[in-house]
């Protein structure tokens, strides 16, 4: 299946460490959003980037940060990892702000 890709698929980190998750959007999609999905919950909005600028943010602390690059790739960085950061992280790209196309996610486990 083509479209939005994410890497890595799975990741295990230790509390206090830093992690970078990557997303490759569909060509032409200027908007990318990141979501955190804890087990048994719906996805929670972290932030969105539009043309390399942050365009909105959910209720997540500053240790969650992001970058978007001109080649339609983006990153989610999380510093000072906590056990509660263990979740599936989804990125979603869109040509507009409405319909979003989701990636398969990165499963992060913090021990």
Strands 5-7 and 19-24: antiparallel
Report yes or no: 102 and 89 within 8 Å, Cβ to Cβ.
no
Q: Please, what is the minimum distance in Å from the beta carbon of residue 33 to other proteins?
A: 7
**Among residues 58, 60, 67, 73, the one that binds other proteins under rule CB under 8 A:** 58
Distance separating alpha carbons of residues 84 and 68, to the nearest angstrom? 25
Residue 68's contacts (CB-CB under 8 Å, 6 or more residues apart) are: 32, 49, 50, 51, 52, 53, 74
Q: Is 53 in the site for other proteins (CB under 8 A)?
A: no
**Among residues 30, 44, 65, 73, the one that binds other proteins under rule CB under 8 A:** 44
Going residue by residue from 60 to 89, which x/- string records binding to other proteins, judged by CB under 8 A? ------------------------------
Strands 87-94 and 73-78: unpaired
**Among residues 21, 25, 103, 110, the one that binds other proteins under rule CB under 8 A:** 103
Q: Is 98 in the site for other proteins (CB under 8 A)?
A: yes
Distance separating alpha carbons of residues 85 and 79, to the nearest angstrom? 10
Q: Interface residues with other proteins (CB under 8 A)? A: 1, 4, 31, 33, 35, 40-45, 48, 50, 55-56, 58, 90, 92, 97-105
């Amino acid at each position: 299946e083509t479209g939005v890709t994410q890497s890595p698929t799975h990741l295990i980190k230790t509390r206090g460490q830093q992690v970078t998750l990557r997303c490759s959007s569909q060509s032409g999609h200027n908007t990318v959003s990141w979501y955190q999905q804890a087990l048994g919950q719906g996805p929670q909005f972290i932030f969105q980037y539009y043309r390399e600028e942050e365009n909105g943010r959910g209720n997540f602390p500053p240790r969650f940060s992001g970058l978007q690059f001109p080649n339609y790739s983006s990153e989610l960085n999380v510093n000072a990892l906590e056990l509660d950061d263990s979740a599936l992280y989804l990125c979603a790209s869109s040509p507009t702000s409405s319909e979003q196309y989701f990636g398969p996610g990165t499963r992060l486990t913090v021990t």
